[in-house]
Amino acid sequence: MPVQNSTQAALYMPFARQQWAELRNAVPLTLSQQDIADLQGLNEDLSLQEVTDIYLPLSRLLNLIIGAKQVRGQVVEQFLGQQPHRSPYIISIAGSVAVGKSTTARILQALLQRWPEHPRVDLVTTDGFLYPLATLKRKGLLKRKGFPESYDTKMLIEFVSAIKAGLKNVTAPIYSHITYDRVAEQQVINQPDILIIEGLNVLQTGLDAPVDIKRPFVSDFVDFSIYVDADDTLLKNWYINRFLRFRSGAFSDPKSFFHHYASLNDQQAIETASNIWDTINGPNLRQNILPTRERAHLILRKGGQHRMDQVFLRM
């Protein structure tokens, strides 16, 4: 369960899937089946019903919250006699490897940018802020990739700070899952209405550091946070299934960092993926990602087949 004790349970209002779906309130579905097929992750079977039941109510909620914040900002600026300040609304999406964060981020981007109040919605993943492969090797962090210390935190904070300040043409590094490294090309973010930041550790604060750290965290700049949740056993199975699909897909590319996995038979691939989960992704989830879950404004709880079963809204 997403909430672990009575104190935490009191913070969230739980919704069964059908209860949440009823909050759509006739918001029209503006995505086709082909749109959804283009947006879904490799290991997910995302349906129109999933978008209708889960993501349309969420996009409605976010539209209402963002609208209220914009009105409040205008009132304060009018009171102070200031010129309007263009500061994007920032949404973060956290969760484990293989839980489907990227699909959630892409679906939300596609839906939110169809609301006339905020047509410019950009999406950035924190993968691009991982240290370059050469740096990870030099620091001995290659097997800690995805752990907090494997990110160029200074670069990431400078990026988010510039976005929040309303600066123009802010650049973000782009990550390749083929080469397992940053690429030369950069993503340019130019004063969006909304910025979605997707990543493993975007809910972390100074409370998670082993020593007292005074620097800001990504979570300090976020207006609304989402955690995509699922049981450990499901996550491990999804990771293994994704690895098997990559074996005949991305891993088969000679340029792939993991090209040597392409020749594994089924049993070897399952054992390799299971070992990677047990030694890297699982420990990272338990030590660094899962402890941040109850900081999220909203928890999306998945069951089998990546189907959302419950939604928990922080009150």
Question: Do 293 and 2 contact (CB within 8 A), yes or no?
Answer: yes
What is the structure's pLDDT at 7? 43
Distance in angstroms (rounded) separating the CA atoms of residues 167 and 85: 11
Tell me the pLDDT band of 8, cut-offs 50, 70 and 90.
Answer: low
Give the whole-angstrom CA distance, residue 280 versus residue 257: 17
Q: Which three-class secondary structure state does DSSP give residue 214?
A: coil
Q: Is the pLDDT of residue 72 over 50?
A: yes
What phi and psi values does residue 108 have, to the nearest 5 degrees?
-65, -40
- Reported as a single tens digit per residue, the pLDDT across 163-200 is 999 999 999 999 998 999 999 999 999 999 999 999 99
Residue count of the chain: 315
- The answer to whether 187 and 171 have CB atoms below 8 angstroms apart is yes
Give the pLDDT score at 2: 52
Residue 166 falls in which region: left (phi positive, over 0), alpha (psi -120 to 50) or beta: left
User: What order do you get walking across the sheet with 308-314 strand by strand?
Assistant: 12-16, 308-314, 298-302, 224-229, 89-95, 194-198, 121-125
Q: What's the per-residue H, E or C state across 21-77?
A: HHHHCCCCCCCCHHHHHHHCCCCCCCCHHHHHHHHHHHHHHHHHHHHHHHHHHHHHH
Per-residue pLDDT tens digits for 12-65: 999 999 999 999 988 878 787 788 778 876 556 678 889 999 999 999 999 999
Position 248 scores a pLDDT of: 80
Closest CA to 145 of 221, 204, 201: 201
User: Is the whole model's pTM more than 0.85, yes or no?
Assistant: yes
Mean pLDDT of 199-211: 81
Residue 141: closest CA among 272, 280, 256, 273: 280
Q: How does DSSP assign 126-159, residue by residue? A: GGGGBPPHHHHHHHT-GGGBTBGGGB-HHHHHHH
Q: What pLDDT does residue 264 have?
A: 93
Q: For residue 5, is pLDDT > 50?
A: no
Provide the pLDDT for residue 41: 63
Write down the CATH number for the domain with range 6-314: 3.40.50.300
Q: Can you read off the two tokens belonging to residue 226? A: 């989402």
Q: Given the structure tokens 């979605």, which residue do they identify?
A: 196
- φ/ψ region of 86 (left if φ > 0, alpha if ψ in -120 to 50, else beta) reads beta
Mean pLDDT over 232-259 rounds to 90
Domain assignments of the chain as residue spans, ordered by start? 6-314
What average pLDDT does range 285-307 have in this prediction?
95
Instruction: Indicate the pLDDT class of residue 6, thresholds 50, 70 and 90.
Output: very low
198, 211, 174, 200: which is closest to 280 by C-alpha? 200
> What sign results for the dihedral spanned by CA atoms 146, 148, 152, 154?
positive
Q: Report the Cα 24 to chain-centroid distance in Å.
A: 22
Residue-wise pLDDT for 208-225, tens only, equals: 765 566 789 999 999 999
* Tokens of residue 248, six digits: 């005949």
